[in-house]
Amino acid sequence: MIFSTEVKPVWINHSDKFWYEYRTSTGKKWYLVDPQSKSKQLLFDNADLAAQATRIVKNPFDAQHLPIEKLEFTDDETRIRFELRSTKDTIKTKEELAKLKNKSDSLKKKVFFLEYDLRNKQLKEIDERLKEKPIPNWASFSPDTSRIFFAKNYNLYWMDRENLEKARTDDKDSTIVEHQITTDGVQYYAWGGDQYSTTTGGDNEDEETKKRQPVRLLWSPDGKHFALTRKDNRHLNPLWVINHVGLKRPTLETYKYLMPGETDSTEAELYVFEAGTLTPKRIAVDAFKNQTIGIYNKDVDKSSFKGKRFIGYWLGDNNVFYINRSSRDLKRIDIVAVHVNGHIQPVVKERSNVYLDVKKPYFIHEGKQFIHWSQRDGWGHFYLYNSDGTFIRQLTSGEYNCNDITGYDKTTQRFTFTANGKEAKEDPYYLHHYSLSISGGKPNLLNPGNFDHQVEASESGKYFINNASRVNSSPSSALYTSTGKLIMKLEEADLSLLFAAGYKFPEPFTVKAGDGITDLYGVMYKPFDFDSTRVYPLVEYVYPGPQTEAVNKAFGRSMDRIDRLAQMGFIVITVGNRGGHPSRSKWYHTYGYGNLRDYGLEDKKVAAEQLADRHPFIDITRVGITGHSGGGFMSTAAMLVYPDFFKVAVSGAGNHENNIYNRWWSERHHGVLEKIDSKGDTTFTYQIERNTELARNLKGKLLIATGDIDNNVHPANSIRMVEALIKANKRFDFLLLPGQRHAFGNMTEYFFWKMADYFSEHLLGDSKIDQVDLTEINRETPLKK
C-alpha cells in the first residue's frame, strides 16, 4: 500500500541533470530533470514503450507494468539502455555452463537487452556483446587504468588490461598472467583479501584463499604512489560458532574477534608504494598503544572515473595525504599529514575525557585550507584551518549539531552543510540544509519547513533534491538551488490506499527525562481500531544507542515491527534517552559513559509514566518492553532493574554481557582505563555491569531469543543469561533460531509472531497455546509438505 516515498536521483554522466523512477498506485514512471532549464519530463511514454517492448520480447507489457531493470544513459545522453526479462528459454552462456553442477540444467529465461532512442522514440533490441561486461569487484585500477591490482593468497598482485579482459570472460582461464608484488602476506596478517571477520573451517577454504579478492588502494593524483594499511590480527584470540543446519555435518566457524579489556589487539601499519618499482615503504605513525589508523579518501567525482573504471584517490596532493590516528580509549584523535618521503605532521589534535568522534576534513582553496568538524565546545561544529594545521577561526557555534559538508562554491566562498537542532520549536533531530561563508556569519537556511529533510546534492553542489517528511505527514520531494531557491516540486507520496484501509499516522510526543530537565522525543503507535474509552497495555520498543535511537523521524522508515505490534491491541511507543543519539549535544550523547547497562532505563520508565498521566487509555500496570541487539540487552536489563514496573519483555540477540561483546562498541561507549606504570608500560582495564548479575531480580515474563550462529552478538550472551536465570531458579522462556545470524534472516517473521503471541498472552490474556500452527504466517506462506 506504500509506493515510492522519496526521489533518489541518478545523476547523468556527473552532470547536474538526473533521472529518477517513482511508483504510485497508477504504476511506475521514469522522469528526466534538467535543473538548469527548470524542466521535468517523462523519459518516455509508458504505453508506447510497452507496446514496442511487447512486439520485440513477445511477452505482454502495459503502461502500468513495465519491469525495466538496469537502466542507464549512453555517454552521448541521446539513448537509454535497459533489460527486460522474458519467459523465453535460451541456452546458458559458456561461462554459465562451465559452472553448472547439474549439466542438465542448461536453459535459462532470456533477458532482452534493449535500447531506446530519446530523439525518435524508437525501441530496438541490441546485441548482447554491446553490453559492457561487469568489472570484477576485485579489480582496483591504477589512474591510467593500465594495471589492475588485487589480492590473492593474502598478497598483492597486478595484471594488465589484456589479462583483465580474459578474466572478465573466464576468471579461471589458465593463460591469465598475474604479477606478484608481495610475498610475506599470511592469513590474519595480509596485504589484502583477509577481512576482519573472516570465517574458516569450510571444505573449500583453500580454494577461497586462491581466489582474487579486492584490495583498497588509494592513489596520489599523479599516479606515482599509492597507500594502504595492513593489519596484524595474528595474535587475536579466536571465537567460534557452530552451524548445526547448514551442511550434512555441523560445521565449526572460526573468526578473530576483539573483546573489551583483553590485551590482544589489532596492530595497524601504514605503507606507501612507489608505483614504478612497486616497493613498499612503511611509515612510522605510531603514537598510542593499540592505536587505529584510517586513510582518508578523496570524495568521488568525475575525475574518479576513467570510463566505467573507478580509481580511488587519497585525500591530498601528489606529495601529501591525510590519515586519522586514534588511541584505544578514543580520548585522543589526530588528523595527520603524511608525506610520501615518510615525514608526518599532526595538523589537528583532539583531546577529551570521554570518547571522541571525528570526520574527514574538507579541503578548499586548492588544498591550502580545510574545514574541520569537532565537538570541542560540546556540540558538533566547523572550524577553519590552514593545511599546515594553523587554526584560523570557528565557523559555526551554538546549541545545535552540524553534520556533513555537502559542497563548496569557490566563487562565492560559501559552503553548504546539513545540521539539526538549530530551528526553534522543531524536533531537534530534524535535519536541515544550510549555507555559510568561510568568513563566518550566520548560516542561511536552505530548506525551511517543520520536517526531517534528507538531502541529495549534485556533484557540482549547485543543486540539491530535498526529501521532506515526518512520521505524521506524507513525504514530498522538491528540487532547489544551492542558494535555497525552489526550482520545482517533484513528487508527493501516494498513500491513498493506506488511508483507504483505515491507516492513521502515529503521533509524535515530548516528555521529560528522569532529571526533569532534558526533553525526550518519541512516537506513539495505536491500534487500527483504537477506542479512547478503552484501556490498553503499553509496549516500549527500545534501542539505547549511543550510536542511534529507535525513534522514527520520517515516514516509512523501520515501521514494520512497531506498527504491526500495535495492531494486536497495544499502545506502542519509541522514545529517546539520555546517552542516546549523537545528533544532540556531546553531553547527551555520552551520558551513559561508564554506566553502559543502566544509563537509559530511568528515562524509559518515566516516559511511560508521563504518558499514562496524560492519557487515561494507557494502563501503567501492564507495561512491556522489547528490542533487538542493544535493545535486547536493554529490555532484559529493564526487567531486572525495575522488576515491579516492566511486566513482560521479549529480548532479541541481546549483548547481555558486554564484557564479551565487541571491543569497538563496548570500550568506546563504556570506556576503558589506560594505565602507564613507572617503566612506561601501558595496560588497559575494563569493568562493566552485566545483566547476568541481576538475574535474581526477575519477577515478570521474559522471552530471550538468539540466532545460534550470530557472529556479531555471540549467542554466548544469551546462553549465559539463561544460565544465570536457571541458577536463580527463575521461570522464563528461551528461543534458539537455528542457522540464523544477528538479524534472524528468514526466521524474522517467525520471531515477530512469537513476540506478538508472548505479549498478547501476558499483557492481554489472549493465549494461543492450544494452537500448534502460526496461522498468521501460513496465510501468507502456505506450509510446505
Report pLDDT digits (tens) over 361-378. Answer: 999 999 999 999 999 999
Tell whether 427 and 528 lie within a shared domain: no
Task: Give the chain's domain count.
Answer: 3
230 found inside a domain: no
703 found inside a domain: yes
Last residue of a domain, one of 83, 105, 130: 130
Would you say residue 102 has pLDDT above 80?
A: no
Would you say residue 336 has pLDDT above 80?
A: yes
Report pLDDT digits (tens) over 613-640. Answer: 999 999 999 999 999 999 999 999 999 9
Tell whether 439 and 587 lie within a shared domain: no
Mean pLDDT of the 479-501 span:
96
Residue 104: band (very low, low, confident or very high) from pLDDT cuts 50, 70, 90: low
For residues 387 and 371, give the distance between their C-alpha atoms in angstroms, rounded to a whole number: 10
Mean pLDDT of the chain: 93
Tell whether 488 and 537 lie within a shared domain: no
Q: What is the structure's pLDDT at 478?
A: 98
How many beta carbons lie within 10 A of that of residue 615, not counting itself? 15
Mean pLDDT of the 468-478 span:
96
Tell whether 680 and 715 lie within a shared domain: yes
Does the CA dihedral 301-302-308-311 come out positive or negative?
negative
Comparing 561-575, 640-654, 717-731, the range with the smallest average pLDDT is 561-575
- Quick check: 336 and 287 in contact, CB under 8 A? no
718 found inside a domain: yes
Q: What is the structure's pLDDT at 200?
A: 59
Report pLDDT digits (tens) over 709-739. Answer: 999 999 999 999 999 999 999 999 999 999 9
Comparing 137-141, 334-338, 552-556, the range with the smallest average pLDDT is 552-556
Report pLDDT digits (tens) over 404-421. Answer: 999 999 999 999 999 999
697 found inside a domain: yes
Tell me which residue range forms the domain holding 675.
506-780
Tell whether 667 and 688 lie within a shared domain: yes
Q: Which residues contact 686 (CB under 8 A, 6 or more apart)?
A: 260, 261, 659, 666, 667, 670, 672, 673
Last residue of a domain, one of 481, 501, 521: 501
563 found inside a domain: yes
How many beta carbons lie within 10 A of that of residue 730, not counting itself? 15
Comparing 214-223, 370-379, 671-680, the range with the smallest average pLDDT is 671-680
- Quick check: 379 and 586 in contact, CB under 8 A? yes
Tell whether 383 and 531 lie within a shared domain: no
Q: 715 or 134: whose pLDDT is higher?
A: 715
3-state secondary structure of 524: strand
Mean pLDDT of the 142-157 span:
96
For residues 512 and 237, give the distance between their C-alpha atoms in angstroms, rounded to a whole number: 44
Q: What is the structure's pLDDT at 92?
A: 81
Q: What is the structure's pLDDT at 473?
A: 95
Amino acid at 500: A
222 found inside a domain: no
143 found inside a domain: no
Question: Pairing mode, if any, of strands 251-256 and 292-295?
Answer: unpaired
For residues 615 and 604, give the distance between their C-alpha atoms in angstroms, rounded to a whole number: 17
CATH number at residue 383: 2.120.10.30
CA atoms within 13 Å, Cβ hemisphere of 273: 22
SS3 sequence, 18-52? EEEEEEECCEEEEEEEECCCCEEEECCCHHHHHHH
**Quick one: 453 exposed, middle or buried, by C-beta within 10 A (0-12, 13-18, 19+)?**
buried
Tell whether 453 and 512 lie within a shared domain: no
Would you say residue 329 has pLDDT above 80?
A: yes
Residue 163: band (very low, low, confident or very high) from pLDDT cuts 50, 70, 90: very high
Would you say residue 197 has pLDDT above 70?
A: no
Q: What is the structure's pLDDT at 201?
A: 56
Amino acid at 56: I
Tell whether 657 and 747 lie within a shared domain: yes
Q: What is the structure's pLDDT at 266?
A: 87
CATH number at residue 576: 3.40.50.1820
For residues 656 and 672, give the distance between their C-alpha atoms in angstroms, rounded to a whole number: 18
Question: Pairing mode, if any, of strands 682-685 and 673-676?
Answer: antiparallel
Comparing 125-134, 197-206, 232-241, the range with the smallest average pLDDT is 197-206
Report pLDDT digits (tens) over 390-405. Answer: 999 999 999 999 999 9
Tell whether 492 and 511 lie within a shared domain: no
DSSP state of 745: G
Tell whether 592 and 690 lie within a shared domain: yes
Q: Cell 495492531 identifies what position?
A: 567
Tell whether 722 and 659 lie within a shared domain: yes
325 found inside a domain: no
Residue 558: band (very low, low, confident or very high) from pLDDT cuts 50, 70, 90: low
Determine if the peptide bond prior to 546 is cis (ω within 30°).
yes
Tell whether 657 and 723 lie within a shared domain: yes
